[in-house]
Amino acid sequence: MKQKIAFAMIMGVITTGIITFTLISLNVGFVPNFLVIWLKSWSMAYLVVIPVILVIGPRVQKLVEILFRNEVTQDVD
């Protein structure tokens, strides 16, 4: 469980940082208070994404396993 939480936290920092930076720079531009806007958005996105990764992540993993189950068995044959 510790590894899943660590994974969620690290992925959350990376993905929310990249996405919020990109969207704010495109939608608002590099205004004088860009850093403040970005950090506020980044922190809010981070708080949202951690529980989402922990709750939705295992379901997505199961879906991926189901989608690629036939491909794996075909590779073995």
What is residue 4's predicted lDDT score, i.e. its pLDDT? 83
pLDDT tens-digit series, residues 15-72: 999 999 999 999 999 999 999 999 999 999 999 999 998 899 889 989 999 889 877 6
pTM of the model: 0.72
Cβ atoms of 12 and 50 closer than 8 Å? yes
CA distance 18 to 12: 10
Nearest to 8 by CA among 50, 65, 69: 50
Q: Give domain limits for the chain.
A: 2-76
